[in-house]
Amino acid sequence: MSTLPWIGLVVAVFLLTLWTLGPLRDYLSRRGLTDSEGARTSHTGEVPRGGGLVLTPVLLAAWIAAGHGLAFDRLTLVVLATGTAVLFVVCWRDDAGGLPPLVRLLVQLGVVGVALVLAPPGPVFQGLMAPVAEGGLILLLWVGFLNIFNFMDGMDGIAGAETVTIGLGSALVTAVAGLAPVLAVMGLAAAAAAVGFLRWNWHPASIFLGDTGSIPLGFLLGWLLLGLAASGQWAPALILALYYLADGGLTLARRALMGERIWQAHRQHFYQRAFTPGDDQRPVLKPILVANGCLMLLATIAAAGVIWPALLVAGAVVAALLWHLERLARARERSA
């Protein structure tokens, strides 16, 4: 396989995202489509939301091109493209005017359910449970992941950093494990789009993804992780997403146990509690970047066959990160 066209595709994704987000930001500002300081936000003042209006179509077009050029299963490609488009349209309606949480959830369940029926990723749990039970569990995990991806998008740079981790990490795992090249190209395209987005979302952010970016992105990255797991790389897939799953999952579980409405905006994630809105968020983001870099390395090691030591070290890395963020949060609370 010639790599030159795919390198060109990845570079094009980066440049398109980088160059078009500035004009989009200005358009969204003129339309008044901005996020104000609130229960979930990490900034002060008005910042445009809707970066997904660029990132999602650019990334989806790159995935379609990669799928066509690398003999990817056509039905799966159509299902992914259609599901992403449906989520994109519904999420834009939500960004522009708001939709009831139940409507959003039903659409997500429908899109993921159809994807699993028409184009299942394969035996994610490697035959450890009945197909019907496995399908139900994957449905919950996939919908849960795309919502965690959305909920965790509450700090400058964090969504872009996580996308780079999963995208680039997937490409490395694919190379080491000798999987289908299309997975590597799709992962690199996601990472390239995220790098272009980070130019505008790094602190102080001048644009946010909005649901049009975070929900479709969670859908596509969730499929990418499931594809790795179905190819026998369940440990690397888990490691790559481990920080988001831990911070998002533990926070949602804690809120549910306290009887809170988990779908409502809040600032209770470990990383959110570690800084005050309007502050420089880079001291919080930097340890997350370091931890995610470690997780990429550990996922690659797991793909090479050193599974359980890599999983144990990854768990320790994420536990240490959460402990550090909790320590920052308590120090901030004491000084308030």
How confident is the model at residue 42, as a pLDDT? 62
How confident is the model at residue 128, as a pLDDT? 72
Amino acid, res. 131:
P
pLDDT band at 41 (very low <50, low <70, confident <90, very high): low
277: buried, middle or exposed (CB in 10 Å: 19+, 13-18, 0-12)?
Answer: middle
Q: Measure the CA–CA gap between 63 and 188, rounded to whole angstroms.
A: 10
Cis peptide before 236 (omega within 30 of 0): no
Which residue, among 217, 218, 227, 232, has the nearest Cα to 120 in the 3D structure?
A: 227
Residue 61 Cα distances to 10, 18, 160, 207, 208, angstroms: 11, 16, 19, 22, 21
pLDDT > 90: what percent of the chain? 75
Task: Provide φ and ψ at 208, rounded to 5°.
Answer: -115, 165
The upper half-sphere exposure of residue 76, i.e. CA atoms within 13 Å in the direction of its Cβ, equals 17
pTM for the model: 0.95
How confident is the model at residue 266, as a pLDDT? 83
34 SS3 class: strand
261: buried, middle or exposed (CB in 10 Å: 19+, 13-18, 0-12)?
Answer: exposed
**49 vs 185, residue with greater confidence:** 185
Contact 226, 115 (CB under 8 A): no
pLDDT band at 332 (very low <50, low <70, confident <90, very high): confident
What is the torsional sign of CA 230, 234, 240, 245? positive
In the chain, what is the greatest distance between 2 CA atoms, to the nearest angstrom?
Answer: 58
Domain spans of the chain?
A: 4-239
Count of beta carbons in the 10 Å neighbourhood of residue 64 = 16
Residue 82: CB partners within 8 Å, gap ≥ 6? Answer: none
What's the average model confidence in pLDDT over 74-82?
A: 96
Parallel, antiparallel, or unpaired: how do β-strands 47-48 and 34-35 relate?
A: antiparallel
How confident is the model at residue 72, as a pLDDT? 92
**Does the pLDDT of residue 100 top 80, yes or no?**
yes
Identify the weakest region by mean pLDDT among 35-44, 134-143, 258-267.
Answer: 35-44
**Does the pLDDT of residue 82 top 90, yes or no?**
yes
The secondary structure of 140-191 as a DSSP string is HHHHHHHHHHHHT--STTHHHHHHHHHHHHHHHHHHHHT--HHHHHHHHHHH
**Does the pLDDT of residue 38 top 60, yes or no?**
no
Show the tokens assigned to 260. Answer: 């809170």
Count of beta carbons in the 10 Å neighbourhood of residue 140 = 11
